[in-house]
Amino acid sequence: MTRALYVGRFQPFHKGHLETLKWILERCDEVIIGVGSAQYSHQLDNLFTAGERIEMIRRVLMSEGLTDRCLIIPIPDIGQHSLWVSVVRQFCPRFDVVYTNEPLTRRLFLEAGFKVEGIPRFNREFYDATRIRRLMAEGGDWESYVPSPAASFIKEIGGVERIKDLLRSDKVP
Amino acid sequence: MTRALYVGRFQPFHKGHLETLKWILERCDEVIIGVGSAQYSHQLDNLFTAGERIEMIRRVLMSEGLTDRCLIIPIPDIGQHSLWVSVVRQFCPRFDVVYTNEPLTRRLFLEAGFKVEGIPRFNREFYDATRIRRLMAEGGDWESYVPSPAASFIKEIGGVERIKDLLRSDKVP
Amino acid sequence: MTRALYVGRFQPFHKGHLETLKWILERCDEVIIGVGSAQYSHQLDNLFTAGERIEMIRRVLMSEGLTDRCLIIPIPDIGQHSLWVSVVRQFCPRFDVVYTNEPLTRRLFLEAGFKVEGIPRFNREFYDATRIRRLMAEGGDWESYVPSPAASFIKEIGGVERIKDLLRSDKVP
Amino acid sequence: MTRALYVGRFQPFHKGHLETLKWILERCDEVIIGVGSAQYSHQLDNLFTAGERIEMIRRVLMSEGLTDRCLIIPIPDIGQHSLWVSVVRQFCPRFDVVYTNEPLTRRLFLEAGFKVEGIPRFNREFYDATRIRRLMAEGGDWESYVPSPAASFIKEIGGVERIKDLLRSDKVP
Amino acid sequence: MTRALYVGRFQPFHKGHLETLKWILERCDEVIIGVGSAQYSHQLDNLFTAGERIEMIRRVLMSEGLTDRCLIIPIPDIGQHSLWVSVVRQFCPRFDVVYTNEPLTRRLFLEAGFKVEGIPRFNREFYDATRIRRLMAEGGDWESYVPSPAASFIKEIGGVERIKDLLRSDKVP
Amino acid sequence: MTRALYVGRFQPFHKGHLETLKWILERCDEVIIGVGSAQYSHQLDNLFTAGERIEMIRRVLMSEGLTDRCLIIPIPDIGQHSLWVSVVRQFCPRFDVVYTNEPLTRRLFLEAGFKVEGIPRFNREFYDATRIRRLMAEGGDWESYVPSPAASFIKEIGGVERIKDLLRSDKVP
Q: Which residues in chain D have Cβ-Cβ distances shorter than 8 Å to C51?
A: 73, 89-94
Q: Which amino acid type is present at position E111?
A: E
* CATH 3.40.50.620 describes domain D3-167: yes
Separation in Å, CA of B23 to nearest CA in chain A: 22
Phi and psi at residue D162, to the nearest 5°: -60, -45
Neighbours of B, requiring at least 3 CB pairs below 8 Å, are: A, C, D, F
Mean of all residue pLDDT scores within chain A: 94
pLDDT (mean) for E70-91: 97
Residue-wise pLDDT tens for chain C (173 aa)? 899 999 999 999 999 999 999 999 999 999 999 999 999 999 999 999 999 999 999 999 999 999 999 999 999 999 999 999 999 999 999 999 999 999 999 999 999 999 999 999 876 667 899 999 999 999 999 999 999 999 999 999 999 999 999 998 866 54
pLDDT in tens, B135-167: 999 999 999 999 999 999 999 999 999 999 999
Give the side-chain half-sphere CA count within 13 A for A79: 11
**What's the confidence (pLDDT) of residue A169?**
82
- With touching defined as 3 or more inter-chain CB pairs under 8 Å, the answer for chains D and A is no
Asked if the Cβ–Cβ distance from E108 to C42 is below 8 Å, we say yes
d(CA F74, CA A95): 33
Please give the pLDDT value at position F170.
67
Residues of B in contact with A92 (CB under 8 A): 51, 54
A144 CB contacts (<8 Å, ≥6 apart)?
Answer: none
Helix (H, G, I), strand (E, B) or coil at B83: helix
Bridge partner residues of C4 (DSSP): C31, C97
pTM: 0.95
End-to-end CA distance of chain B: 43
Q: Kindly identify which residue of chain F lies nearest to residue B49, measuring between CA atoms.
A: F82
So where are chain A's domains? Answer: 3-167
F50 touches chain E (CB under 8 A): yes
**Neighbours of D (≥3 Cβ pairs closer than 8 A)?**
B, C, E, F
Short-list E125, E171, B107, F106, CA closest to A77: E171
Touching subunits for chain A (3+ Cβ pairs under 8 A): B, C, E, F
Distance from CA of D83 to the nearest CA of C (A): 13
Which residues in chain F have Cβ-Cβ distances shorter than 8 Å to D82? 41-42, 49
- Percentages (nearest 5) of helix, strand, coil residues in chain C: 45, 15, 40
Q: Classify E10 in phi/psi space as left (phi over 0), alpha (psi -120 to 50) or beta.
A: left
User: Which residues have CB under 8 Å from C115's CB, separation 6+?
Assistant: C96, C97, C98
Q: Check if A76 contacts B (Cβ < 8 Å).
A: yes
Contacts of E103 in chain C (CB under 8 A): 165-166, 168-169
**What pLDDT does residue B169 have?**
82
Q: Please, are residues A4 and A99 in contact by the beta-carbon 8 Å criterion?
A: yes
Q: Which residues of chain F have pLDDT under 50?
A: 173
DSSP for C111-152 reads HTT-EEE----SSTTTS-HHHHHHHHHHT--GGGGS-HHHHH
Q: E157 to chain A: nearest residue by CA?
A: A111
User: Does C73 sit within 8 Å of D54, measured CB to CB?
Assistant: yes
Q: Name the minimum distance, in Å, from the CA of F79 to any CA of chain A.
A: 13
Give E40's contacts in chain A (Cβ within 8 Å). 80-81
The SS3 call for residue D150 is helix
How far is residue F41's CA from residue E94's CA, in Å, rounded to a whole number?
A: 15
Mutate which: D37, D40, D41, D42, vs B, most B CBs within 10 A: D42
What sign has the CA pseudo-torsion B65, B51, E42, E8? Answer: positive
Tell me the mean pLDDT in the region B103-132.
Answer: 89
Q: What is the pLDDT of residue A172?
A: 54
B67-115 pLDDT per residue, tens: 999 999 999 999 999 999 999 999 999 999 999 999 999 999 999 999 9
Interchain contact, F86 vs A86, CB within 8 Å: yes
Cβ-based neighbours of C8, under 8 Å, separated by 6 or more: C17, C33, C34, C35, C36
pLDDT at A127: 81
Q: Which of E23, E7, E27 is nearest to E15 (CA)?
A: E23
CB contact under 8 A, D51 and C76: no
Contacts from E164-170 at CB under 8 Å and sequence distance 24+? E164/E137, E165/A103, E165/A104, E165/A106, E165/A107, E166/A103, E166/A104, E166/E42, E166/E43, E166/E44, E166/E47, E167/E44, E167/E137, E168/A103, E169/A102, E169/A103, E169/A104, E169/A105, E170/A102
Judged by CB atoms closer than 8 Å, whether chains meet at A42 and C104 is answered as yes
CA distance linking residue E167 with residue E43, whole number of Å: 9
Give the whole-angstrom CA distance, residue F33 versus residue B138: 35
pLDDT at E75 over 90: yes
Residue D169 touches chain E, beta carbons under 8 Å: no
Residue of E nearest to F52 (CA): E93
Look at residue A73 and give its three-state secondary structure.
strand
pLDDT at C126: 72
Give the residue from A82, A85, A91, A92 with the most F CB atoms within 10 Å of its CB, the best one to mutate. A82
Decide: A64 and A103 in contact? Cβ < 8 Å.
no
